[in-house]
Amino acid sequence: MPLRSTATARQERLGAELRKMREAAGITARDTARLLGTDPAKVSHIEAGRLGVSEERLRRLATFYECGDQDLVAALVAMANGNGRKGWWEAYRGVVPAGELDIAELEHHSTRLRSIQITHVPGLLQTEAYIRAVFGHAIPPLPDNELEARAAYRRQRAGILHREGAPPYEVLLHETALRMRFGGTRVTKAQLEHIVELSHLPHISVRVVPFASGAYVGSNYAMLYASGTVPQLDTVQIDNAHGVLLLHSATHLANYHARFESLSKVALDRQQSRDFVLAMSRDL
C-alpha cells in the first residue's frame, strides 16, 4: 500500500490503537517488523495512520500481541475495512479545515453523542442563519466562498440527526448559550424555536443548565463525547484557539465522562428544559 500524504483522525486512531496494543504486550516495533516481513519504518507508518493495514495483517498483529479482547479486534477490523471509503465530508477537503472534517467523521461512526456547550448552540442544532452569524464574526474574517462552504458543511453535518439509525444525542446546554444573540433578536428567536422542535425527537435530549443551578462549568467545559462501537474507541472532541483537539487516553475519557455526569445532575429535565427555551423565545 502507498503511504498517505495525510491521514484522517480515524486512520490515525486505528494506528494508535495498534501501537497501544503492541506496547501493552511489551513488543518492539522491530519484532513486529520481523513478523510482517518488513522494516520498522513501515510499522511506524502503520501506527501513525500513514499506511493502511489489511484485515488479515491486523488479525495477525492482534494474535501476536496476545490481545484477547475480540470485540476490540472486531471494531479495529471494521475501521481498517472502512478506511478506504470516502465520506461526504471529503468533498470539503481543502476548503474546510481538516479538523472540522474529522468531527463529521467522528460523528458518523459514533454510537452515541454527548455534548456540553456553554457559549454557543452546538453545531448540529444550529439554524442556517445562526451558522452564518457565528462564522460572520470569525477573526480574521472569512472570504465569502469559504463562509458559504463552512455554512453548507455544517448544515450537512446536521443530517446525522435525521438519518436512519441516528445515534442518541444528549446536549447539556448552559443558559449563557441560549441568551447569546448571534445575528440579533430574530435569528435568536428562530434558533430557540428550532431547538424546541428538535427536542421532541425521541433520540435527541436537550437539557438546560440554568444560571440558578449555581453550577460552575468553567470556560473549558465545551466538549463532545463520542462513543465508539467499543468503550476503548470513545473519543472526546474539544475546541481550542488553534482548532479541534481529539482526546482518547483512558484518563481523558474518564475525566470528561465524569464532567458530563456531574453537570447532568444539576441540569433541568427534558420537559423543563423545553419549557425554559420556549419561554425564552416567547419573551423575544
For each of the domains in the chain, give its residue range(s) and CATH number, in order of start.
Answer: 9-82 (1.10.260.40), 95-283 (3.30.870)
Q: What SS3 class is residue 138?
A: coil
d(CA 195, CA 274): 8
pLDDT at residue 138, as a whole number: 83
213 or 270: which leads in pLDDT: 270
Question: Which grid cell is 141?
Answer: 474574517
Question: What are the backbone dihedrals phi and psi of residue 175, each rounded to the nearest 5 degrees, phi first?
Answer: -55, -30
Average pLDDT in the 43-68 region?
96
pLDDT of 3: 85
In the chain, the percentage of residues whose pLDDT exceeds 70 is 96
Most confident of 19-33, 137-151, 208-222: 19-33
- Asked whether residue 63 carries a pLDDT value surpassing 90, the answer given is yes
Q: Please give the helix or strand (H or E) that residue 174 lies within, else none.
A: strand 169-174
Output the CA angle 250-267-272, nearest 5 degrees.
145
Are 210 and 173 spatial neighbours (Cβ–Cβ below 8 Å)?
Answer: no
Answer whether residue 10 shows pLDDT above 70. Answer: yes
Q: What is the mean pLDDT of residues 215-224?
A: 71
Give the mean model confidence (pLDDT) for residues 249-264: 94
Stretch 72-78: mean pLDDT, rounded?
Answer: 96
Given a cut of 70, whether residue 177 has pLDDT beyond it is yes
Alpha-carbon distances, residue 210 vs 111, 129, 158, 217, 225 (angstroms) = 28, 25, 25, 11, 21
Are the beta carbons of 22 and 15 closer than 8 angstroms? no
Q: Is the pLDDT of residue 83 over 70?
A: no
